[in-house]
Homo-oligomer: A and B are copies of this chain.
Amino acid sequence: MAVTLLDVVARLGGQIQGDGGVTIERIAPLDVAGPGDIAFFANPRYRSQLIVTGASAVILAPAAATTCPVAAIVTPQPYLYFARLAQWLHPAALPAPGVMPGAWVPATIPDDVHVGPTAVVDAGARIGAGTVISAGCVIGDGVEIGAGSFLYPNVTLYPGCCIGQRAILHAGVVIGADGFGFARDVDGGWVKVPQTGGVIVGDDVEIGANTTVDRGALTDTVIGNGVKLDNQIQVAHNVRIGDHTAIAGCVGIAGSARIGRRCTIGGGAIVLGHIEIADDVHISAGTLVAKSIVTPGTYTGTVPFMPHEDWLRNFSRMRHLEAMADKIRALEKRIAGLEQKS
C-alpha cells in the first residue's frame, strides 16, 4: 500500500510541510527508516536521529518542524497520529470466514466468523459478526463475544463469560476460571466456595498473552471499556477495572479490588484485595498497593538497588529502623539536657 502525504492528511488531518506528493508505504523508526518509510518524532532525546533520518517523511509537533530535514506532517500529537496512520498502513490480517477442518462448532455462528482448525465453540455460545476465533481456542457454553473481536490461538473462555466488541485476546488468555475462594475447615483443610459469578469485559479491550481473569464469586468480575491489559497479568474474582485503564505485564490484582478509570499500573505491581483506587491514579512498577488511594496522582513504593555488597551493609539497617529512631530520640533528650546546663 502506497499513499502520498496528501492522502494521509486528507484522512487523518494535520499540516504538510514540504512536498505533499511524497509517497510512503510503511512505518519505520527514525534511525533505520529509508525511502518509502514514514517515521515519527515525539521524544526530544532522539533529535540527533531526526536530523539525519533517511525517512521519506516524519510526523512531528510544530515545535520540531524546523528541525526536520525531509517532508513532514505537523500535528500536536505525533505519536497518536502515528498510531492511527500505522493502523491504516498495517491493518490486521484477517483470515477468511468459515469453519476450518478439525474445529468443533455445535454453536450457531454468523457466516463471516472465522473458526480456526482445532478450535471449539460450544453449543450455547453467541459470536458477533466478523469475529476471528483462532486454532486451539475453547469457547464455553453461553459465552458471548461481540462483533469484530479477534481471539489468537489457545484462548480459553469459560462458560458464561461476556466479551464486548472489538476485543483482542492474545494467545493463552484464560477468562472465567474459578476465583480463589475457600473456607477454612476446622481441621485446617479448605472447602471450595463455588464461584457462581461471571466475567464481563467491555468494548475495545485488549488482553495480553497468558493473562488470566477469574470469574466472580457471587457477582461478576468487570473489565471496563477500552481497558488494556498486558501479558501475564492475574485479575482475581470480583475485581472491577474502570474504563481506559492500562495495566503492564506481570501485575497481580487481588479479589474485589476496584481500580478507577484512566489509571495506569506499572509492571509487576501488586494490588491487594478489597483496595479501592481512584480515577487517574498511576502506580509505579513493582509497587505493592496495600491500602486504598483516593487522590489522583502517581504513587510509588519500591527500593533502590545497588551493588550487592553495599546492599548487604545498607539493608541490614532496615531491620533496625525502629532502633535508629529510638537512638535519635535518646540523643535529642541528651542534647536537650546539655543545652539546659550550658
Given the known A-B contacts A172-B172, A285-B254, A318-B303, are A154 and B182 also in contact in the complex, defined by CB atoms under 8 Å?
A: no
CA A299 – CA B319 in complex, angstroms?
Answer: 13
CA A56 – CA B288 in complex, angstroms?
Answer: 40
Contact with B along A61-85 (1 / 0, CB 8 A): 0000000000000000101101110
Q: Contact at A90–B194, with CB atoms within 8 Å?
A: yes
Q: Contact at B339–A244, with CB atoms within 8 Å?
A: no
The reply to whether the CB of A178 lies closer than 8 angstroms to some CB of chain B is yes
User: What chain B residues lie within 8 Å of A182 (beta carbons)?
Assistant: 83, 228, 246
Q: Contact at B299–A306, with CB atoms within 8 Å?
A: yes
Complex interface residues of chain A between 302 and 317 (CB less than 8 A to chain B): 302-308, 310-317
CA A270 – CA B250 in complex, angstroms?
Answer: 9
CA A316 – CA B306 in complex, angstroms?
Answer: 12
B120, B286, B311: which contacts A117 (Cβ < 8 A)? Answer: B120
Residue of A117, A171, A328, A339 most packed against chain B (CB within 10 A): A171
Complex interface residues of chain A between 100 and 141 (CB less than 8 A to chain B): 100-102, 104, 116-118, 120, 134-136, 138
Q: Contact at B244–A194, with CB atoms within 8 Å?
A: no
User: What chain B residues lie within 8 Å of A54 (beta carbons)?
Assistant: none
**Closest chain B residue to A286 by CB distance?**
B288
Give min CB distance, A46 to chain B, whole Å: 12
Complex interface residues of chain A between 266 and 314 (CB less than 8 A to chain B): 267-268, 270, 272, 283-290, 297-308, 310-314
Complex interface residues of chain A between 145 and 177 (CB less than 8 A to chain B): 152-154, 156, 158-159, 168, 170-172, 174, 177
CA A206 – CA B193 in complex, angstroms?
Answer: 12
User: What chain B residues lie within 8 Å of A170 (beta carbons)?
Assistant: 174, 177-178
Q: Contact at A249–B244, with CB atoms within 8 Å?
A: no
Contact with B along A234-266 (1 / 0, CB 8 A): 101000000110101110101000000110000
User: What chain B residues lie within 8 Å of A319 (beta carbons)?
Assistant: 304, 306, 310, 314
User: What chain B residues lie within 8 Å of A303 (beta carbons)?
Assistant: 288, 301-303, 315, 318
The reply to whether the CB of A214 lies closer than 8 angstroms to some CB of chain B is yes
Give min CB distance, A59 to chain B, whole Å: 11
User: What chain B residues lie within 8 Å of A90 (beta carbons)?
Assistant: 194, 196
Q: Provide 28 A-B residue pairs closer than 8 Å at the C-beta atoms, listed in order of the A residue.
A: A26-B196, A27-B218, A29-B218, A77-B186, A79-B183, A80-B184, A87-B191, A101-B104, A104-B135, A120-B135, A138-B171, A156-B171, A170-B174, A171-B174, A172-B172, A188-B262, A189-B204, A252-B268, A270-B285, A290-B305, A300-B307, A301-B302, A314-B319, A314-B322, A324-B324, A328-B328, A331-B335, A342-B342
In the A-B complex, the 8 residue pairs with the closest CB atoms: A301-B305, A317-B321, A104-B117, A138-B153, A250-B252, A156-B171, A83-B183, A298-B308
